[in-house]
Chain A
Amino acid sequence: MSGENDPAQRVAIGISFGNSYSSIAFTTGEGKAEVIANEDGDRQIPSILSYVEGEELHGGQAKSQLVRNAKNTVAYFRDFLGQAFKSIDPTPCHQSAHPVQAASNVAFKIRDTAEEAENTVTVSEITTRHLKRLRNSASDYLGKDVNAAVITVPTNFSDAQKSALNKAAKEAGIEVLQFISEPVAAVLAYDARPEAKVADKIIVVADLGGTRSDVAVIASRGGIYTVLSTVHDYEVSGFKLDQVLMDHFAKEFIKKHKAGGDPRENDRSLAKLKLECEAVKKALSIGTSANFSVESLANGLDFTATINRSRYELLASKHFAAFARLVTHAVEKAQLDPLDISEIILAGGNSHTPKTASAIQNAFPETTTILAPSTSPTAINPNELSVRGAAIQASLIQEFELEDIDQSTHPMVTVTPHLSHAVGVLCISGDESSGIFHAIVDAETSLPVRRTAIIATPREGGNVLIKLCEGSRHIKVTKPEPKPKQERDSDDDDDDYDSEDEEEELREKTWKVGKVLSEAALRGVKKGAKIEVQINIAADLKVNCIFREVGGKGGVRGLLSGPKVQQNGSA
């Protein structure tokens, strides 16, 4: 076995590799993820390579070459990896080296040596060079040779793209321990914080990047994550926000300098405009006004101007609304209601924009927490979420043999049955004969599962009947106008789905009791006692439950067999 594949010799980091930016992170001895800055001091390293007289520039230095040396600068290449030439969208590369076809691969024609000749460099080779630079930065920082990594990829990255990335990483001297998806890495970054409590909740991760936006709805059940739906959009993106500013300042420039011409019509002017507008956008996320200033923007004319945040928000309002629509669309796609969403994690650079967060907040009820810098003081930097998740995952698995990791991530392990309905007990309500549903295990929980809950008993104690049932969530819509709010009557909910007046209605989550699974009797319960309910559901849907008075002895145990005729997948 070569030293590189030997887990004992491994130095593993997390890499987030994006179209616009990449970052690298490692996990400290105390288990805290830390993002590494490269030699330029950047934690968000532009995924750009540029060649000047044979010298390779990377990251921020390469990005500034987009103005003077666009032809030999390669940018926005991540999504081209492992793709056929005809299936790629080269739009983001209009202002840098254009992708060309080379056999079945995508390549770039660039002058990457000191000689006066253009070479055809495949996108995998470009990726390898980019990853090498990232690896070197991490190695320099850690003082150890980094040779392994967990890399984040979008949820719609195909196997062909993953294997191409794996190959490019190997060429760069990086053993890929695992590819994990970007939204799940973001959730892990939050859940791995020491103050975080693992709970059952539905989380939406909205990754608002430069060239694309990806939204994923994830069920988090006891720290196990299941992706319920994903939405990808290449139109609703940060570039659209840049474009708003570019158009604004271009018009201002034309107004001021009649002879200057439109800076958008000259490649170099456009490149300058674009770079400065991205900087202005970032400044507007922090301050309430920002300066735009470019030397010799067009026809040798300098241009300076200022813009305040509210002006920018007005200009870009339709793009913020588009972000919010994208998020609600993903929730609909998962067949859920905004009320089902406990948390929305905003990731990606454009989540810094306060208006993005508030537009999304407005589309969701108050019960939904938005985790973004402008809405939550404890939010993690949205740029760093996926790389932190990757670093944590890397530290968890770096001791494992690659074979073990492959076996553990095999569908035999990852495909598991998930509950179609919530399971819970009927708890006391005002009426003694009926009960209200109290969910103990939520729907979409992966099996096997074990959950314990404490429930209250009737005030006067005595003999108690515990009913275990299935429940399904309903959205109860109440119209406050014609009749005052109806008294909420235990398990009867009227579904006014077809109500017309959208603004005035009051929506709330209620439970509808479904199939009764079992009944159990606890006799002689003390006054005001609480009952502990433990439910074990096996992968074959066998249910094992224990009901016990808190502090009491014995209790009732019961076993329920699974459904008889079934096709239960791999269980």
Chain B
Amino acid sequence: PVLPEGWSGERDFKAIGPLSHATDRNIEPVGPHFLAHARRKRHKRTFSEDDRI
């Protein structure tokens, strides 16, 4: 949508509300993408940190 007149936010960004609560589910420990996820989780890395390695 078009920006309304007089809209302002800090650095042009305005946080309004948080996400709804998530549900906990079990992911299947199978496949290359899971292994990448497990690697990130065990080393406590983020996506961008993982990309750099």
CB within 8 Å of B: which residues of A? Answer: 178, 180-181, 184-185, 188, 191-192, 198, 218, 222-228, 389, 392-393, 396-397, 407-409, 411, 413-421, 423, 426, 428, 432-435, 444, 446-448, 450, 458, 462-465, 467, 470, 514-523, 536-537, 541, 543, 556-564, 566, 568-570
Q: Does B52 make an interface contact (CB < 8 A)?
A: no
Known: A465-B2, A520-B9, A569-B24. A393 touches B31 (CB 8 A): yes
A463 touches B3 (CB 8 A): yes
B38 touches A225 (CB 8 A): no
Counting contact residues on chain B (CB < 8 A from A), the size range is 35 or more
In the complex, how many angstroms separate the beta carbon of B19 from the nearest chain A beta carbon? 5
Known: A414-B29, A558-B15. 5 other contacts (CB 8 A): A417-B25, A462-B2, A465-B3, A465-B4, A515-B19
Taken together as a complex, chains A and B put the C-alpha atoms of A426 and B3 apart, in Å, by: 13
B26 touches A414 (CB 8 A): yes
Q: Which residues of the other chain, A, contact B26 by a CB distance below 8 angstroms?
A: 226-227, 411, 414-415
In the complex, how many angstroms separate the beta carbon of B29 from the nearest chain A beta carbon? 4
In the complex, how many angstroms separate the beta carbon of A149 from the nearest chain B beta carbon? 15
Known: A458-B2, A563-B18. A413 touches B13 (CB 8 A): no
In the complex, how many angstroms separate the beta carbon of B21 from the nearest chain A beta carbon? 6
Taken together as a complex, chains A and B put the C-alpha atoms of A223 and B37 apart, in Å, by: 10
Taken together as a complex, chains A and B put the C-alpha atoms of A416 and B28 apart, in Å, by: 11
A224 touches B2 (CB 8 A): no
B12 touches A523 (CB 8 A): yes
6 A-B contact pairs sorted by A residue (CB < 8 Å): A416-B25, A448-B47, A517-B18, A563-B18, A563-B20, A569-B22
A419 touches B19 (CB 8 A): yes
A223 touches B31 (CB 8 A): yes
- Contact pick for B13, options A428, A462, A520, CB 8 Å: A520
In the complex, how many angstroms separate the beta carbon of B37 from the nearest chain A beta carbon? 6
Q: Which residue of chain B has its CB nearest to the CB of A449?
A: B47
Taken together as a complex, chains A and B put the C-alpha atoms of A7 and B11 apart, in Å, by: 53
B21 touches A467 (CB 8 A): no
Top 3 closest A-B pairs, CB basis?
A223-B33, A417-B22, A558-B13
- Contact pick for B9, options A396, A521, A566, A568, CB 8 Å: A521
Taken together as a complex, chains A and B put the C-alpha atoms of A17 and B9 apart, in Å, by: 60
Taken together as a complex, chains A and B put the C-alpha atoms of A411 and B19 apart, in Å, by: 24
- Contact pick for A563, options B21, B25, B31, CB 8 Å: B21
A568 touches B19 (CB 8 A): no
Q: Which residue of chain B has its CB nearest to the CB of A188?
A: B31
- Contact pick for A389, options B30, B33, B47, CB 8 Å: B30
Q: Which residues of the other chain, A, contact B46 by a CB distance below 8 angstroms?
A: 448
A543 touches B19 (CB 8 A): yes
Q: Which residues of the other chain, B, contact A561 by a CB distance below 8 angstroms?
A: 15, 18
B27 touches A223 (CB 8 A): no
Q: Which residues of the other chain, B, contact A521 by a CB distance below 8 angstroms?
A: 3, 7, 9, 12-13
Taken together as a complex, chains A and B put the C-alpha atoms of A518 and B14 apart, in Å, by: 6
B24 touches A416 (CB 8 A): yes
Q: Does B53 make an interface contact (CB < 8 A)?
A: no
Taken together as a complex, chains A and B put the C-alpha atoms of A556 and B42 apart, in Å, by: 31
A413 touches B29 (CB 8 A): yes
Q: Which residues of the other chain, B, contact A226 by a CB distance below 8 angstroms?
A: 25-28
Most buried by B among A409, A417, A470, A519: A519
Q: Which residues of the other chain, B, contact A433 by a CB distance below 8 angstroms?
A: 1-2
Q: Which residues of the other chain, A, contact B22 by a CB distance below 8 angstroms?
A: 417-420, 447, 541, 568-569
B38 touches A413 (CB 8 A): yes
B2 touches A420 (CB 8 A): no
A421 touches B12 (CB 8 A): no
Q: Which residue of chain B has its CB nearest to the CB of A198?
A: B33
In the complex, how many angstroms separate the beta carbon of A196 from the nearest chain B beta carbon? 11
Q: Which residues of the other chain, A, contact B28 by a CB distance below 8 angstroms?
A: 180-181, 184, 218, 224-227, 414
Q: Which residue of chain B has its CB nearest to the CB of A466?
A: B1
B20 touches A444 (CB 8 A): no
Q: Which residues of the other chain, B, contact A225 by a CB distance below 8 angstroms?
A: 27-28, 30-31, 34
In the complex, how many angstroms separate the beta carbon of A405 from the nearest chain B beta carbon? 9
- Contact pick for B47, options A224, A408, A413, A536, CB 8 Å: A536
Q: Which residues of the other chain, A, contact B42 by a CB distance below 8 angstroms?
A: 407-408, 413
Q: Which residues of the other chain, B, contact A414 by a CB distance below 8 angstroms?
A: 26-29
Q: Which residues of the other chain, B, contact A557 by a CB distance below 8 angstroms?
A: 11, 13
In the complex, how many angstroms separate the beta carbon of B40 from the nearest chain A beta carbon? 8
Q: Which residue of chain B has its CB nearest to the CB of A562?
A: B18
In the complex, how many angstroms separate the beta carbon of B13 from the nearest chain A beta carbon? 4
In the complex, how many angstroms separate the beta carbon of B12 from the nearest chain A beta carbon? 4
A519 touches B30 (CB 8 A): no
Q: Which residue of chain A has its CB nearest to the CB of B3?
A: A463
Taken together as a complex, chains A and B put the C-alpha atoms of A393 and B35 apart, in Å, by: 10
Taken together as a complex, chains A and B put the C-alpha atoms of A363 and B44 apart, in Å, by: 44
Q: Which residues of the other chain, B, contact A568 by a CB distance below 8 angstroms?
A: 21-22
Taken together as a complex, chains A and B put the C-alpha atoms of A388 and B9 apart, in Å, by: 53
Taken together as a complex, chains A and B put the C-alpha atoms of A559 and B41 apart, in Å, by: 22
A184 touches B30 (CB 8 A): yes
Known: A222-B33, A414-B29, A541-B18. A420 touches B9 (CB 8 A): no
Taken together as a complex, chains A and B put the C-alpha atoms of A450 and B45 apart, in Å, by: 13
Q: Which residues of the other chain, A, contact B20 by a CB distance below 8 angstroms?
A: 420-421, 470, 514-515, 563
